[in-house]
Structure 1
Amino acid sequence: MKNLHPSIARKAAGLSLIELMIAMVIGLILLMGLVQVMSASRAAYQLSTGVARTQENARFAVDFLQRDLRMAGHMGCVNDQSHMAPESPGSSDASRQGMNLWFLSEAQRNARTFTALSGDTYALRFDMGVQGFEAQNTGPQDTVTLTEGTPVAGNANQWVPALPPQIAGLQPVPGSDIVVVRFLSRDGVPATLASTSANNYTVTPDAYGTSVATTDSSGMFALADCQQVSIFAADAVDAAGVITVSVGGLNKSGLVGDEWSFESAQNKPVLYRAETVVYYVGVGAGTNVDGTKAPSLWRARAIAKAGKVEFEKEELVEGVDSLQLLYGMDENLPVALPRGNIERIRTAAAVNTVANSNPSNEQADEWRRVGAVQVGLLMRSADRSAAEQATTTPILLGVKMQRGAADTRSDGHYRSVYETTVVMRNRLFGN
Structure 2
Amino acid sequence: MRIFACHSGMKHQRGLSLIELMISLAISLLIIAGVLYVFLGSRQSYNQMDVMSRMQENGRIAVDLMTHDLRLGGFMGCRRYGANTISVIASNPPFQEADIVDGQAIRGVTYSAGNPAYVTDSLGNGGVVGSDVIVIRHAAGDGVRLGGGLVAQLGQGATTITLTPTGAVPSRIPGESDGTPLAAGSAGRDLALITDCSKGDIFRVSAIAGGTAGTPTVSITSDAGLTYGYSADAVVFPFREDRYFLRDTGRLNRQNQPVISLYRMAAEMNSDNADELVEGVEDMILEYGLDQDGDGAADIYQRAGVVTNWAQVVSVRVRLMLATVDDNTLTEDATFTLLDGATVTDRRLRQEFSTFVAFRNRLQ
Query: The TM-score by the shorter chain falls in which range?
Result: 0.7 to 0.9
Does the 8 Å CA contact 1:204/1:242 hold for their aligned counterparts? yes
The one of 129, 152, 171 equivalent to 2:105 is 129
Residue in 1 aligned with 2:358? 423
Deviation per CA, 1:117-163, whole angstroms, max 9, x where unpaired? 6xxx3488444221001246xxxxxxxxxxxxxxxxx422xxxxxx2
Residue in 2 aligned with 1:215? 174
For structure 2, the 5+ residue unaligned runs are 1-6, 178-189, 212-216
The one of 182, 187, 196 equivalent to 1:225 is 196
Deviation per CA, 1:366-419, whole angstroms, max 9, x where unpaired? 21210010110111223332266666x4353xx21411xxxxx222x1111111
- Distance 1:390-1:410 versus aligned 2 partners, 3 A rule: closer
Instruction: Find the structure with the greater CA-based Rg.
Output: 2
Does the 8 Å CA contact 2:83/2:198 hold for their aligned counterparts? no
Which sits farther off after the overlay, 271-280 or 17-26? 17-26
Alignment of 1:24-423 (within 5 A): 24-83=25-84, 98-103=85-90, 121-122=94-95, 125-127=99-101, 128-135=104-111, 154-156=113-115, 163=116, 165-169=117-121, 171-192=126-147, 200-208=159-167, 210=169, 213-218=172-177, 219-238=190-209, 242-247=218-223, 253-256=224-227, 259-260=228-229, 262=230, 264=231, 267-284=232-249, 288-303=253-268, 310=270, 312-331=273-292, 338-352=294-308, 366-383=309-326, 384-386=328-330, 393-394=336-337, 396=339, 399-403=340-344, 409-411=345-347, 413-423=348-358
Distance 2:342 2:95 in 1: 32
- Distance 1:389-1:81 versus aligned 2 partners, 3 A rule: farther
Deviation per CA, 1:268-293, whole angstroms, max 9, x where unpaired? 31111101111111124765444544
- Aligned to 2:246, the other structure's residue is in SS state strand
Aligned amino acid, residue 44 of structure 2? A
Does the 8 Å CA contact 2:321/2:353 hold for their aligned counterparts? yes
Does the 8 Å CA contact 1:213/1:273 hold for their aligned counterparts? no
Distance 2:167 2:289 in 1: 38
Structure 1 stretches of 4+ with a deviation exceeding 6 A read 5-9, 193-197
The percent of aligned pairs where both chains have the same amino acid is: 27
Shift of 1:167: 3.9
Does the 8 Å CA contact 2:208/2:221 hold for their aligned counterparts? no
Q: TM-score, normalised by structure 1?
A: 0.67
Residue in 2 aligned with 1:147? none
For structure 1, the 5+ residue unaligned runs are 84-97, 105-115, 137-153, 157-162, 248-252, 304-308, 333-337, 353-365, 404-408
Deviation per CA, 1:160-180, whole angstroms, max 9, x where unpaired? xxx2x3344483222311101
Does the 8 Å CA contact 1:183/1:275 hold for their aligned counterparts? yes
Distance 1:214 1:8 in 2: 104
Q: Report 1 or 2 for greater relative contact order, CA contacts < 8 Å, sequence distance ≥ 6.
A: 1
Shift of 1:11: 4.9
* Bigger helix share: 1
- Distance 1:271-1:375 versus aligned 2 partners, 3 A rule: same
Aligned amino acid, residue 100 of structure 1? S
